[in-house]
Structure 1
Amino acid sequence: MCIVLLTTAHPSYALIIIDNRDEFILRPTSRPHWWISGGDLTHQNANSNNADKSHANGQPRRHQEILCSRDLQRAEHGTWLGITKNGNVAVLTNFREDNIEDKDHPVHAARSRGGMVTAWLEADPEETTAEFVKRILDGGVRNVGGFSLLCGKLRKNDEKNSLKPLAIISNRTDNLEGIPWIGTERHRAYGLSNTSYHDPVAWPKVENGKRLLTEAVKKAVNERLDEDGLMDELFKVLDTDTLPVGPDMGFEDYIPVLKESIFVPPIGDEHHREAMERASRKGKKAELVEAEKDLLGEERPTASSQGFDSGMYGTQRQTIILVDWDGNVTFRERALWDAHGDPIERPAGDMTFKFKVDGWHEKRESEL
């Protein structure tokens, strides 16, 4: 059960985003890399269908340079979090659907949730957040598992010395009036996990996360920590483990209490543990060069990918995005497990990218 936390409280940064991806640990996932919508920078994306699309006026669609990790389990190769050189940013959390009678919100959907993220990351750079929100709602989000999508275009509002607003789209909201817009106020913390942003009963992990994030930023400011020092404090927030555990708890017993903890340690039943052990044994037989290649490239445990629910479940990846007032972005992803289910010692699994947002001071009419 993933969590994304945001803050506008640090004076040196317009926005800070921190995120835990909770998933089956052996689910094959690439490491973060740059790619182009319609054509990958590092390898061709056979599943992208944007290369030949055009605007309604017949003009060719402009491509986006995208930075993210990608899910290799499903053909869409979607993602849970990403950012573009043009400043489009998106983070997804899912609902745990448990009502098999609800046809509008299927438990197992035909369309990938991760495709909702790449829909914004691959959008034409000229499309505003508001236009995208309307397009998604008009097109419908049926046949997609329950999700919330935080999305927006990183642009500074020079008049108010703040960011342009970010939207939260959900397939629990089917009209523009119900869309929350956040991120414009300074000294605020926001949180989203696996329930609606409008849920009147806040999850403990979200409330705790917002408090800890605020404290981490305050400490970083008071102690004048540099960027790496700030990152260390933010990773401490993401590592906060308050999950209730018991000797007789099985996988299903943990599901209701996942809302308690920001970090999820590996959990599972006997068959989950056995799958992890098998993957680990296979990994130890692989040559060191191949293991290193897996860590830095596409993390497939074997030539044929593991099943969706293979291995233990827990926090698989952690990501921090810092955006300063000049539009400079620092993107750091931390892998906690290798392709074979073996833990990676912190911070050996870190990958860091730095770039400047194109159009940061772009003068455009309000998106609302």
Structure 2
Amino acid sequence: MCIVLLSTAHPKYALIAIDNRDEYVLRPTSRPYWWTHHPSGNKILSARDLHRRERGTWLGVSKNGRFAVLTNYRESSLDDPDHAICGVRSRGSMVTGWLGADAGVSLDQFVKTMLEDRMVKGVGGFSLICGDLKAKAKNGTDPLAIISNRWDHPGEVPWVAGERGKTYGLSNTVYVEPETWPKIKIGKRLMEETIQEVVDKDLDEDELTERLFAVLDHDTLPVEPNMTMQQHMDALRYSVYIKAFGEEQEWKDMEEAREQGKGKEPFDEIEDEAEVEEHQRTEPTVNFMKGAYGTQRQTLILLDWDGNVTYKERALWDAHGNPVERGKGDKVIKYKIEE
């Protein structure tokens, strides 16, 4: 039950984006690194899903300033029988669809192509926030689009973050204003309060990032004794942060993974495409929907007015199901958007 929060409220930044990836802890996932999208040649910075053959991602940026983040839908087929909640294509390929698009493709064109050419079909339900950070750094008013395969034509697409002083939230449901899910309301309020405090006290970027991670760590998950996996899943919309949970079998899976991971490096530090391909050949195909479920990764993206991007990912679990102390699993990459 992921959440992404966006804000244009800090005067020193054209955009701030923060994200919790809630997932099965044992789902194989790389750390963020620069990789080349083929055939466009675009340089993309993201972590990658090593389970699906598309090796997509839920969040990323590109060297030329594109940004995209995806959330899927929690609704069941009974909630919306006309739209699938899973598909033969990975939703992660929707993110790379924008990040890897040719340089001449505008955001307007991408939105129209995705919906009018039915590029959003064949995947499970999703919302994709995407936009051009280069344009936003120049004038601050270029909006981001929220594409969904719940929309039937471009006129339904919401456009956000085109105004200064605003904060927006999206989780595993359709984007609406005013928001209805408690976790989105909580997240927006906390982010607004955090940014206001940072501005009032003139705190630096390191202090800002730690306070933003505290927003992502905010836990109001209603937990009762002997809750089933499904009851936990139904409660996820009430908390920004999801403490890992599971039933007896899930925790047995976690212990087995830890035993198998003894003596191994905590993460597969993949740095290029060849290593991704090698991982695909050497790692057995497993059912990743096992083990505990919870917030697996946390990511911050800061864009200043000079086009400088700070990308910081915090891993909360290693590749073998061991918890990682806050800050010990951080990876920070900074770069300037190419002209």
Any stretches of 5+ residues in structure 1 without a counterpart?
A: 39-50, 52-61, 360-368
Is it true that 1:63 corresponds to 2:41 in the alignment?
Answer: yes
More divergent stretch after superposition (63-72 vs 197-206): 197-206
Output the amino acid matched with 2:189.
R
Question: Which of 159, 166, 171 is equivalent to 1:188?
Answer: 166
Give the secondary-structure state (helix, strand or coil) at the position aligned to 2:303.
Answer: strand
Give the secondary-structure state (helix, strand or coil) at the position aligned to 1:149.
Answer: strand
Separation in 1 of the partners of 2:70 and 2:227? 28
The alignment's TM-score, normalised by the length of structure 2, stands at: 0.93
Is it true that 1:294 corresponds to 2:268 in the alignment?
Answer: yes
Shift of 1:305: 4.5
Query: Which string of whole-angstrom CA distances, capped at 9 and with x for unpartnered residues, describes residues 303-324 of structure 1?
Result: 3254131110000000000000
Give the secondary-structure state (helix, strand or coil) at the position aligned to 2:265.
Answer: helix
Confirm or deny: 8 A CA contact 1:191 1:210 kept in the other structure: yes
Separation in 2 of the partners of 1:110 and 1:193? 22
Confirm or deny: 8 A CA contact 1:105 1:143 kept in the other structure: no
Correspondence for 1:176: 154
Correspondence for 1:311: 291
Question: Which of 277, 285, 293 is equivalent to 2:255?
Answer: 277
Confirm or deny: 8 A CA contact 1:30 1:71 kept in the other structure: yes
Output the amino acid matched with 2:327.
P
Question: Which of 128, 132, 137 is equivalent to 1:149?
Answer: 128
The residue correspondences of 1:136-285 to structure 2 (distance < 5 A) are: 136-140=114-118, 141-156=120-135, 161-198=139-176, 202-284=180-262
Any stretches of 5+ residues in structure 2 without a counterpart?
A: none
Correspondence for 2:11: 11
Distance 1:351 1:272, change over 3 A: same
Give the secondary-structure state (helix, strand or coil) at the position aligned to 1:172.
Answer: coil
Question: Which of 320, 339, 343 is equivalent to 2:323?
Answer: 343
Shift of 1:163: 3.5
Confirm or deny: 8 A CA contact 1:295 1:338 kept in the other structure: no
Distance 1:112 1:356, change over 3 A: same
Distance 1:242 1:125, change over 3 A: same
Output the amino acid matched with 1:319.
T
Distance 1:100 1:76, change over 3 A: farther
Give the secondary-structure state (helix, strand or coil) at the position aligned to 1:211.
Answer: helix
The residue correspondences of 1:126-145 to structure 2 (distance < 5 A) are: 126-140=104-118, 141-145=120-124
Give the secondary-structure state (helix, strand or coil) at the position aligned to 2:127.
Answer: strand
Query: Which string of whole-angstrom CA distances, capped at 9 and with x for unpartnered residues, describes residues 199-226 of structure 1?
Result: 7651111011011001111111112111
Aligned CA RMSD, in angstroms, stands at 2.1
Output the amino acid matched with 1:153.
D
Shift of 1:276: 0.3
Correspondence for 1:45: none
Distance 1:18 1:293, change over 3 A: closer
Confirm or deny: 8 A CA contact 1:120 1:132 kept in the other structure: yes
Larger radius of gyration: 1
Separation in 2 of the partners of 1:311 and 1:295? 22
Confirm or deny: 8 A CA contact 2:137 2:304 kept in the other structure: no
Shift of 1:108: 2.9
Confirm or deny: 8 A CA contact 2:14 2:137 kept in the other structure: no
Give the secondary-structure state (helix, strand or coil) at the position aligned to 1:30.
Answer: coil
Separation in 1 of the partners of 2:136 and 2:25? 40
Separation in 1 of the partners of 2:180 and 2:65? 30
Report sequence identity in percent. Answer: 52
Give the secondary-structure state (helix, strand or coil) at the position aligned to 1:35.
Answer: strand
More divergent stretch after superposition (13-22 vs 105-114): 105-114
Correspondence for 1:363: none
Separation in 1 of the partners of 2:76 and 2:66? 32
Distance 1:200 1:213, change over 3 A: closer
The alignment's TM-score, normalised by the length of structure 1, stands at: 0.86
Separation in 1 of the partners of 2:331 and 2:214? 17
Query: Which string of whole-angstrom CA distances, capped at 9 and with x for unpartnered residues, describes residues 76-122 of structure 1?
Result: 10100000011110000000241169664223311111111111111
Confirm or deny: 8 A CA contact 2:179 2:185 kept in the other structure: no
Shift of 1:340: 0.7
Separation in 1 of the partners of 2:126 and 2:7? 21
